[in-house]
Structure 1
Amino acid sequence: METNQPSQDVRLHFLDYWRVVKLRWPIVLTIFLLTMITVATVTYLQPRTYMASVRIKVEQERPTVPVFEQTSYPSYDPYFLQTQNEILQSQKILYPVIERLNLIQRWAERKEGLPVASMDLAFQRLKRQISIRRYRDTSLIEIAVYDTDPQLAALIANETAESFERERLEEKRRQTMRGLEKLREEMAQQQERMHQAQAKMEQLRKELNVPVIGETTLTLQTLQQLENQLTAARTEVVTRETQLNELKRLTPDQLRNAISTIINDPNVQSLLQNLTEADLQLEKLKQDYGADHPNMRTARATRDKLQQQLDARLEGILKGLEVSYQMAVVRLNELQKQFDDVKNASLVMESEKFLPFRNAQREAELETKLYEAIKARLQQVSIELEVPRSPVEVVDRAEAPLSYVSPNMWLNLVLGTVVGLVLGVAVCFFIEFLDTSVKVMDDVERYLGLPVIGVVSHESGPLVSGKADLGEIEAYRMLRTNIEFSKGAEQTNSFAILSAAAGEGKSFTTANLACVFAQNGARVLVVDSDLRRPTMHQMFGVSHEVGLADYLTGTKSTEEIIQPSSVANVWIITSGSKDITRSALPMLTSQRMRDLVEDLKHRYDVVLYDTPPVLVVSDAVIVAREVGAAILVIQHRRYPRNMARRARQVVENAGARVIGVVVNNINIRQDDTYYYYHGYYDYYHRHAPETAPAKPVAPAAAAPAPAETIQLKDKY
């Protein structure tokens, strides 16, 4: 017989997740509490760690005072600060810190000594205690040191900054000194070459009788230089004259606006800005005060004073421009005179006679320029070496902290709370994932392909005692009604109550279902066909000295094994005495058993067979096959659903029909999946009227029931 395959289209809702957490909240609470206790204990036992930090400003190498304005310095380097971060944690910075503060001995005195007194181990430990942080878009670096001693943390931070500053200065000085030595050697060699070239030129000058103007030997370079200077002087005179004339033609207001673009004078810029602000302030005051108000008079006086200062400054600038123009004219005239004299003398030097001298002169000039360049560079570097430098500036020195930074009790507790809850929920879902038992009614329909005809709460008790409340009885009434609707066209009245494994509540369900059928007027017979572990005689309080085993062995008749119970309209056939139940097990497949089943169908309205577990022994399958209809009882969240599916397959392969499933032992108030059932339970618990205890019902007469049957469909 084909079985329905599980559907793969399973969509989880938020309520499904909430159901898992709500159902397993003790696990979440336990893991949460254990996590919090562990976190609090570990945090309390951890040593207190203090943090001291020093902030330093790190810039590229340059003197504090610019000696030579034309000196170019390196432009912005995006990797510079990152490189300095790594250097701060290097051996050449931290080794001196360890030695100066004698950290190895200090740690040993605190009983925190290293396994071996090694500089490398000390360096590794100190490096772990130091944290370097760079401030974004600045040249600032923070050196944070963590230690259990706040005083020592501050000492290490400050000493690290000082060691870094010393190392940068000494490294630059060492590099510069090596460069100076090389320049001095090169300058001595170049000086010798220059002297040789000058001696050769002087010898040729004397031999060729080269003319001399003043103290300067006439050369083409001299003429070219004078011509260039004359051109530059003329240009300067024209520029200054034009500038001066244009400024004189401007009005005072135009002059104030134009002077800032012509002359870069900080005083003028400051006066113009102050004057503008004074005008704005005066305009604002005009809106609130009259012309004679003290604030107005003060603002006008301030504005007039600034105007006078600016006019005086502008007048001084114009005077200066006039003086500069006159000096440029005088210099032009002097250069013109020198140029005329040199030009006349150069005509003589153009002859072939002076060609050797001109070559020697060019060589001497070249060697002299090289020597002067090397000498100037040597002097420049020597001066810059002596100028104070500050590549590293301590902005904020470290001080001994008053409070510790680790462990952070509140942060750890918050993290512990989050981790505890997450871990607890994760464990819940992991357990839920491993739990393949029947959890919801959809599991029955999805994996077994059977309808759920009954849902029984874990609060339900035995109805045989007559003390059950209406809510518990109503669950079995619904089960009774669903059984009636599930019988189909066969209108069978005999049912085998099955379960896949032991302890799922099939005997409990059989007894209570019999009571509910009997309360509605039906004549009910309960047959305890579990010959191995019978329980029906205990639930109904009858003797099991005579029962099914006696009938199967042929020692008793049908009438002799039927016993009345303490519940009206309920009769019972027990398993029989223990002496013969084992020997009667093979008789379950006998014709005598089939005759009994058929006979009982006609004697009673409802016949319920209590059976052993299906997957444990084969007795249940035999009984179900003979009865024809079966009801499968599954305990909620106990056994894997594959067991129930296997039990259904075994029963249906034997030829019996499973009409439905009873989900037993459900905590309806906790599992929101069964909230519909929880509704009627809550309704009866809250609104049922108080009634007197039910009077015990006298046992029915021990007589066989009539053969005719009762149509149950007319009773519901």
Structure 2
Amino acid sequence: MLVLVISLVVTLLMPPSFRATSKFQIKRPRPVMGIGTGEDVVASSNITDNYIPMQYSVLTSSEVLKVVSKKLNLAAEWGMTDDLAATNLAGMIKVSPLRATDLVDVIVSGPDPKLVQNIAKAVPEAYKQDREMRENRLVETAIKSLQDVLREQEDIVNDKMMALKKLIAENDYLPSTMYRSGDNRSVMTGAMEDEDFRNSKAQLMKFEKDEQELAAYVAEVQRLPDDKLMDYVTNSDLLNAEILAADSLRKTYQEYMEKDKERENLKAQNLGPKHPKMVALQETANILKEKLNKELVGLRSSLRSKLEMVTASRVKWAKIVAQKEEDLRRHVMKMPVYEQTSREYDTALDQLKTLDARYKDEIARLRVPRESIEMYDNPLLPTAPYKPDVTLNLAVGAVAGLLLGMGLALLLEFMDTSVKTMEDVERALQVPVLGIIPKNVPILHSAGSLGPDAEAYRILRTNIEFNKKGLEEISLTFVSGSAGEGKTTTLCNLAYICAQGGYATLMIDADLRRSKLHRYYELDNEAGLTSYLLEDYPLEEVIFQTPVENLYVMPAGPVPFDPSGALNSRKFSELLQEVKQRFDIVLVDSPPILGVSDSAVIVSEVDMTLMVVQPRKLPLKALLRQKQVIESVGGNLAGVVMNNVDITSDHQYQYYTTYYSYYSAESGASGGNADASSLKKAERSGKAKELAATQSNDNEDLY
């Protein structure tokens, strides 16, 4: 609430502020120059992926805002310099780009609606003027650079042309080895000379091969005798078919062999050598043989002649090949120089023509106006202030106050060292939690035994039975660190449940300083524990029967001068031993253990001690101190009772008190109300007046 009130006051004190917005698109600039492919001879604009975001900062740069200040005469109106006026404008302007677009909102805020409209209108105009000025400077620089490149390229072309003319003049044969084609471009070639040389080389190799074969034939023919030469000629396919002598020799030899076969056939017919057929056949064979001898001589001569002709042709072609090889070598050595020089000249000339054509195109393109922005929404005159927003400020104040309150609550919770759950108690004290008593439990003997409240004490009674170490442990006391944790109420209700369970139960009020048990059962406190200890009253005169069957009470009696001394006596120990012989269970009420020393005496005498702990009441150190006191006097800390637990809002205890849901239907049907206050229970039992007075005075000890 404090933060909300502060938000309201601050909102009412804030001066009104108006806002005007202009929306426009920032366009990417076209490249200044784009000559060439791959490498630009003239630099283009430095456009990167961050160009548009960079322009958002340019919109609020001092150069642009100075233009706005001069245009609107803000420096004179505000009584300051242009630099200070630009700084003041930067605080009034907010640039808000639209996501995933090139659109941007320029938002101007200020106390004067007309002024913010004029500023919102002047900012894009000033940006456009500044950007055009920068781009025009860049264009002029680019044109000058392009002119310089053209002049340099012209010089390069002139140098290449002079070098080509000088080379032609120094080598007269070059013009005869080249031809011109299209655009006065010289093309050099050595393909013709190379092909001629290869053809001549092939012809020479053919003659060399023929010469080698014929030389081998001639050597073989000269070496063999006539009879073996005939077999070589007729059977070998190595002789060239073009040698006619060899062909004629084969035919003659074939005729001779046919005649020889006819002679063998005649011999087979038993014709003698003198037979006319035999004689005629012999004469023909002799003629053929003589012809063979002549043809053999002619063959040798023909082969030698052909070998001489092939050798002469081979020598001739060897000279031709040598000459052509020399011509080709000279051509190969001289022509690359000319070709390289001519190629460099042609390349430089082509580049010059390309640059000249592109230069004319760029000049024409650069004369086209460049658009830097495109307006979409012009600023309107604001009719109402946008700040302060009362609803928003109050909502923010409420949320901030809520968060601050929650944070403060969490801080207090973090700083709170008290125990909160039964797990905290068991982990710190290393003893079990024997019972969980809900909040607002009344005195059961006045409210009745039905309902979930009574069941909580039945569970406590059962857990105490199971945690006893022996049958002789029948006396116990409840202790707490401070008053108001409910140990007396817990003791009364547990005694009531034990009595209903058939146990002969005795309650001893050992809280001699602030005794209360006699009030709950409408008894006098004139005789009691102190009467027995200090005045030797008989035991029968200080123990009283209550309206509840099996339930007995020993009141505290008159308050002694030294309560601790009265308890710390042998007679109190004898009393406990005596009543343990007569009753099934003895419950001793005691004062807070950290407040007075009486409880330490009681703890040292009883068999079991139960610590009553109220969640979120005492810090953990107080519980540890209680345990230390109990153990230091030799007491037996059997467990802990969690009292006054709000099981309806504290969900961590609901798992241990599910009997409430089990009893809910029965309690509604019977008309009983186990959750009613103790005052209402007392009214139904006729003790409303006394119990109301008791609760008004001692409420801190009931719960």
Query: After superposition, what is the alpha-carbon deviation per residue over 1:423-468, rounded to whole angstroms, capped at 9, x for unaligned?
Result: 6666665444434433333233322222222111113111232456
Q: Deviation at 1:626?
A: 0.8
Partner of 1:553: 534
Looking at structure 1, the residues matched to 588 and 52 of structure 2 have their Cα atoms a distance apart, in angstroms, of: 87
SS at 1:395's partner residue? strand
Q: Deviation at 1:79?
A: 4.6
SS at 1:663's partner residue? strand
Looking at structure 1, the residues matched to 582 and 400 of structure 2 have their Cα atoms a distance apart, in angstroms, of: 65
Looking at structure 2, the residues matched to 386 and 691 of structure 1 have their Cα atoms a distance apart, in angstroms, of: 100
Decide which of 493, 503, 520 is 1:522's aligned counterpart: 503
Q: Does 1:233 align with 2:186?
A: no
Q: Deviation at 1:538?
A: 2.9
1:52 and 1:401 in contact (8 A); partners too: no
1:494 and 1:601 in contact (8 A); partners too: yes
Q: Deviation at 1:634?
A: 1.1
Q: Does 1:98 align with 2:60?
A: no
Decide which of 129, 143, 165 is 2:92's aligned counterpart: 129
Q: Does 1:440 align with 2:418?
A: no
Partner of 1:455: 436
Task: Specify the code of the residue in structure 2 equivalent to 1:390.
Answer: R
Query: After superposition, what is the alpha-carbon deviation per residue over 1:460-497, rounded to whole angstroms, capped at 9, x for unaligned?
Result: 11123245642222221222222222223243211111
Q: Does 1:471 align with 2:452?
A: yes
Q: Deviation at 1:411?
A: 8.1
1:52 and 1:400 in contact (8 A); partners too: yes
Partner of 2:594: 615
Partner of 1:480: 461
Task: Specify the code of the residue in structure 2 equivalent to 1:646.
Answer: R
Aligned CA distance change for structure 1 residues 669 and 401 (closer, same or farther; 3 Å)? farther
Task: Specify the code of the residue in structure 1 equivalent to 2:576.
Answer: V
Looking at structure 2, the residues matched to 551 and 102 of structure 1 have their Cα atoms a distance apart, in angstroms, of: 106
Q: Does 1:390 align with 2:353?
A: no
Q: Deviation at 1:651?
A: 0.8
Looking at structure 2, the residues matched to 455 and 569 of structure 1 have their Cα atoms a distance apart, in angstroms, of: 25
Aligned CA distance change for structure 1 residues 221 and 537 (closer, same or farther; 3 Å)? farther
Decide which of 654, 659, 662 is 1:680's aligned counterpart: 659
Q: Does 1:53 align with 2:33?
A: no
Gaps of 5+ in 2: 149-161, 170-174, 188-351, 673-680, 688-703
SS at 2:374's partner residue? strand
Q: Deviation at 1:583?
A: 1.9
Decide which of 121, 145, 163 is 1:158's aligned counterpart: 121
Partner of 2:106: 144
Aligned-residue CA RMSD in angstroms? 5.0
SS at 1:453's partner residue? strand
SS at 2:609's partner residue? strand
1:463 and 1:515 in contact (8 A); partners too: yes
Task: Specify the code of the residue in structure 2 equivalent to 1:465.
Answer: S
Query: After superposition, what is the alpha-carbon deviation per residue over 1:30-74, rounded to whole angstroms, capped at 9, x for unaligned?
Result: xxx8888888997898756535123143444778999xx997633
TM-score (structure 1 length as normaliser):
0.56
Q: Which has the higher mean CA deviation after the structures are superposed, 605-614 or 567-576?
A: 567-576
Looking at structure 2, the residues matched to 124 and 669 of structure 1 have their Cα atoms a distance apart, in angstroms, of: 62
Looking at structure 1, the residues matched to 626 and 105 of structure 2 have their Cα atoms a distance apart, in angstroms, of: 72
Aligned CA distance change for structure 1 residues 471 and 401 (closer, same or farther; 3 Å)? farther
What are the equivalent positions in structure 2 for 1:209-608 lying under 5 Å apart? 220=165, 231-233=181-183, 387=367, 389-390=369-370, 392-400=372-380, 429-467=410-448, 469-554=450-535, 556-578=537-559, 580=560, 582-608=561-587
TM-score (structure 2 length as normaliser):
0.57
Looking at structure 1, the residues matched to 83 and 595 of structure 2 have their Cα atoms a distance apart, in angstroms, of: 70
1:56 and 1:161 in contact (8 A); partners too: no
1:614 and 1:647 in contact (8 A); partners too: yes
1:567 and 1:697 in contact (8 A); partners too: no
Aligned CA distance change for structure 1 residues 620 and 127 (closer, same or farther; 3 Å)? same
Aligned CA distance change for structure 1 residues 555 and 690 (closer, same or farther; 3 Å)? same
Looking at structure 2, the residues matched to 222 and 157 of structure 1 have their Cα atoms a distance apart, in angstroms, of: 71
Q: Deviation at 1:525?
A: 1.8
2:33 and 2:44 in contact (8 A); partners too: no
Q: Deviation at 1:561?
A: 3.0
Q: Deviation at 1:126?
A: 2.4
2:480 and 2:593 in contact (8 A); partners too: yes
Looking at structure 2, the residues matched to 697 and 163 of structure 1 have their Cα atoms a distance apart, in angstroms, of: 94
Partner of 1:77: 48
Aligned CA distance change for structure 1 residues 182 and 60 (closer, same or farther; 3 Å)? closer
Looking at structure 2, the residues matched to 50 and 429 of structure 1 have their Cα atoms a distance apart, in angstroms, of: 41
Q: Deviation at 1:681?
A: 1.9
Q: Does 1:644 align with 2:623?
A: yes
Aligned CA distance change for structure 1 residues 150 and 52 (closer, same or farther; 3 Å)? farther
Q: Which has the higher mean CA deviation after the structures are superposed, 162-171 or 117-126?
A: 117-126
Task: Specify the code of the residue in structure 2 equivalent to 1:440.
Answer: T
Looking at structure 1, the residues matched to 579 and 599 of structure 2 have their Cα atoms a distance apart, in angstroms, of: 18
Looking at structure 2, the residues matched to 484 and 182 of structure 1 have their Cα atoms a distance apart, in angstroms, of: 106
Partner of 2:632: 653
Looking at structure 2, the residues matched to 646 and 134 of structure 1 have their Cα atoms a distance apart, in angstroms, of: 66
Q: Deviation at 1:180?
A: 11
Aligned CA distance change for structure 1 residues 497 and 136 (closer, same or farther; 3 Å)? closer
Aligned CA distance change for structure 1 residues 546 and 120 (closer, same or farther; 3 Å)? farther
Q: Deviation at 1:159?
A: 0.5
Q: Deviation at 1:558?
A: 3.3
Task: Specify the code of the residue in structure 1 equivalent to 2:130.
Answer: E
Looking at structure 2, the residues matched to 137 and 619 of structure 1 have their Cα atoms a distance apart, in angstroms, of: 80
Partner of 2:269: none
SS at 1:161's partner residue? helix
Q: Which has the higher mean CA deviation after the structures are superposed, 175-184 or 594-603?
A: 175-184
Aligned CA distance change for structure 1 residues 535 and 659 (closer, same or farther; 3 Å)? same
Query: After superposition, what is the alpha-carbon deviation per residue over 1:166-209, rounded to whole angstroms, capped at 9, x for unaligned?
Result: 2233455678889999999x9xxxxxxxxxxxxxxxxxxxxxxx
Query: After superposition, what is the alpha-carbon deviation per residue over 1:478-534, rounded to whole angstroms, capped at 9, x for unaligned?
Result: 222222222232432111111122211101101111122222333322112122332
Give the paired residue count.
Answer: 484
SS at 1:488's partner residue? coil
SS at 1:87's partner residue? helix
Identical pairs, percent: 30
Aligned CA distance change for structure 1 residues 64 and 676 (closer, same or farther; 3 Å)? closer
Q: Which has the higher mean CA deviation after the structures are superposed, 161-170 or 122-131?
A: 122-131
Looking at structure 2, the residues matched to 673 and 54 of structure 1 have their Cα atoms a distance apart, in angstroms, of: 58
Looking at structure 1, the residues matched to 558 and 166 of structure 2 have their Cα atoms a distance apart, in angstroms, of: 142
Decide which of 664, 680, 685 is 2:643's aligned counterpart: 664
Looking at structure 2, the residues matched to 676 and 233 of structure 1 have their Cα atoms a distance apart, in angstroms, of: 103
Aligned CA distance change for structure 1 residues 491 and 123 (closer, same or farther; 3 Å)? farther
1:63 and 1:388 in contact (8 A); partners too: no
Aligned CA distance change for structure 1 residues 119 and 510 (closer, same or farther; 3 Å)? farther
Task: Specify the code of the residue in structure 2 equivalent to 1:233.
Answer: D
Task: Specify the code of the residue in structure 2 equivalent to 1:91.
Answer: S
Q: Which has the larger radius of gyration?
A: 2
SS at 1:472's partner residue? helix
Looking at structure 2, the residues matched to 531 and 591 of structure 1 have their Cα atoms a distance apart, in angstroms, of: 17
